[in-house]
Structure 1
Amino acid sequence: MTNMSYLDGNMLDGPLRELFAVDLSTAQGRCENCGMTGSMASLHVYSHAPGLVGRCPSCESVMVRLVRGPDRAWLDMRGVTYLQVPMPMEQALPEPL
């Protein structure tokens, strides 16, 4: 294996902050269970739990769980194989170091 230098996870702060600052309702996600692809806005969301549960509109598998506490939030996306987020064109990708 080649010895490559790396940066710690703090390097992800800016790019992830930029990513999560966009409207995710138009983001496309793929259900891990049935493979259906659709927008996050198409999920069936249930709020009768200690948080929000987003289920696939096709197979009803849980795709997203979001729980908010007074000082933190928990986001579980185990049911999503990927999330494709539309980004405004004027935002540049971070330059490699």
Structure 2
Amino acid sequence: MKHLDGNVLAGPAADLFAFEATTALGRCGACGDVAALAQARVYGPPMGYVARCRSCDGVLLVIVEHEGRATLTMRGLRWVRVDA
């Protein structure tokens, strides 16, 4: 399956965050790589969005939209840093 880049998360993440999610930095929980979420490899839609680490392909986050609700899992990120 061909992946997209993390910029595709701008729309779905805008409903979940009060900041521009694609510019946020995150540390991969699997390999420790630090990068902007825009650099993630993203798979989806229509089932949702799965963002994978650019370095090790570990799952960073998952966004699923269904029946007017959004579910976000960020289990693969050690931390996320945004500009204040």
Q: TM-score range by the shorter chain?
A: 0.7 to 0.9
CA distance in structure 1 between the partners assigned to 2:83 and 2:66 by the alignment? 28
By percentage of residues, which structure has more strand?
2
After TM superposition, the runs of 4+ consecutive aligned structure 1 residues lying more than 2 A away are none
Q: Distance in 1 between matches of 2:46 and 2:61?
A: 13
Q: Alpha-carbon deviation of 1:49?
A: 6.2
Gaps of 5+ in 1: 1-18, 88-97
TM-score after normalising by structure 1 = 0.66
Q: Percent identity?
A: 41
TM-score, with length taken from structure 2: 0.76
CA RMSD of aligned residues (A): 1.6
Higher-Rg member (1/2)? 1
Q: CA deviation at 1:48?
A: 5.3
How far the C-alpha of 1:33 sits from its partner, in A, is 0.2
Relative to structure 1, the CA distance from residue 49 to residue 31 in structure 2 (aligned partners, 3 Å threshold; closer, same or farther) is farther
Deviations 1:43-79 (A, max 9, x none): 0000156210000000000001000112211100000
